[in-house]
Structure 1
């Protein structure tokens, strides 16, 4: 089974190298072309209502999540199928994360955090398919996710604690003369959170895909020696699979940390 998976992975890498490589031999590589937003039905003009490749792959991500979590686990068998096993594994993994990081009182927000993780990890993995479009490589997508987390966590903090939520920025354990300075630093770091979340996710995904495109371009440009970059592509592709999961995990666990601050601002 392991050998079959290895052969399939290598075939996918070779196929991606052929697909993403330049049309003509040479080293005229344009790694950012894969991130261009294009209308689905021709033309160059993109309006707010225009269906684009981003729209398509966002919809596919939602459909894949629905297929896994709803259709894949609808049988609720005692001996689970593969889809049900993956769904149960994801459920248990995120539930345990929320409970351990944010506390048991944060479990009521588990559906929101589970939705975040499943969307990001699914979009990341779909972006590794040859000829696909990685929606999480765009700051417009990751920015909306980050702002949603920021607004939600802030609203929860004020809804539960009112003005006392501002104690999050007041370091009472520090010497009194330093407290105003530390409060200013805490306020700045708090409002930088969505920027950090947005850039970290999109930047890592974009960088990885750009490097894959560069190596694929080398494979085409080196003619009979084009097999040499294939080994680098194979290794980097495996790394990108790991990064796709890790970035979803990091985004989710930071959301749990921010949620903990909202639930317990004095801690």
Structure 2
């Protein structure tokens, strides 16, 4: 919380990230909250895009159909390029992850909306699901050969045990970095916009606001444009890392 002395101006940069019940009262695991509401809205928007976008299946696609086809083709090519043709079997799961993240990120840019991907509970669950899935898949596909992922056979023999320890540590850190990267970037951008927005009303309460308010508005516009880029880039990064982890599971040899 910050307060301008003598003006009564108070703002809470972390206010947009607070989870609250939609109907009041205490929050339990089954309580509908603003987080569950916006996740549901995201899922509904994805469903509408692909139901409406693919309903006609016109040879000359409409704008909605074009967006649906572009999204499908973009992720399909990503999976094939990174994980190989063997990875296409798992395309529906990766595509679902990408769509959920990108829609949650962009819907969070709507004023007064909530960004589920700014919470580590959401991104952490997705990252752990990816981590467990690729680990189980790696052992199912390769058996004990999956452990070859941690043995750098191209390195000098004396260094291989040390590198194996480092590889194991880095492997188990994956879900942490995978989740924090997304949540941290989404939270940071929204918090900065909240800080800039707090200075916009200064023109109403202080003479200094004549100079500060226009600058804060320009900063908000610039940050909003940047956050639109970040919303897509972070969905892309999360998805492509998932493809990389899938590739390691399918082809663990260094």
SS of residue in 2 equivalent to 1:255? helix
Q: Show the 5 A alignment for 1:52-63.
A: 52-63=33-44
1:134-173 to structure 2, matched below 5 A, reads 134-173=115-154
SS state at 2:228 partner: helix
Counterparts of residues 1-267 of structure 1 (less than 5 Å): 26-43=8-25, 45-223=26-204, 224-225=209-210, 226-267=213-254
TM-score, normalised on structure 2?
A: 0.93
RMSD between superposed Cα atoms in Å: 1.5
Contact 1:136-1:201 within 8 A present in 2 as well? yes
Q: Which runs of 4+ in 1 moved over 4 A?
A: 24-27
Query: Which deviates further from its counterpart, 207-216 or 63-72?
Result: 63-72
Report Cα offsets for 1:119-170 as digits up to 9, x if no partner.
0000000000001000000000000000011011111101100111001000
d(CA) in 1 for partners of 2:146 and 2:223? 44
State the distance in 2 between where 1:155 and 1:84 align. Answer: 36
Task: Describe the superposition over 1:49-73 as per-residue Cα deviations: whole angstroms up to 9, x where unpaired.
Answer: 1110011001001001101112222
Give the secondary-structure state (helix, strand or coil) at the position aligned to 2:10: coil
Following superposition, the deviation at residue 115 of structure 1 comes to: 0.4
Shift of 1:25: 5.5
Contact 1:37 1:53 in 2 (8 A): yes
Secondary structure of the corresponding residue to residue 171 of structure 1: coil
**Distance in 1 (alpha carbons) for counterparts of 2:221 and 2:164:** 48
The residue aligned with 1:9 is none
TM-fit CA distance, 1:27:
4.5
Q: Which runs of 5+ in 2 are unaligned?
A: none
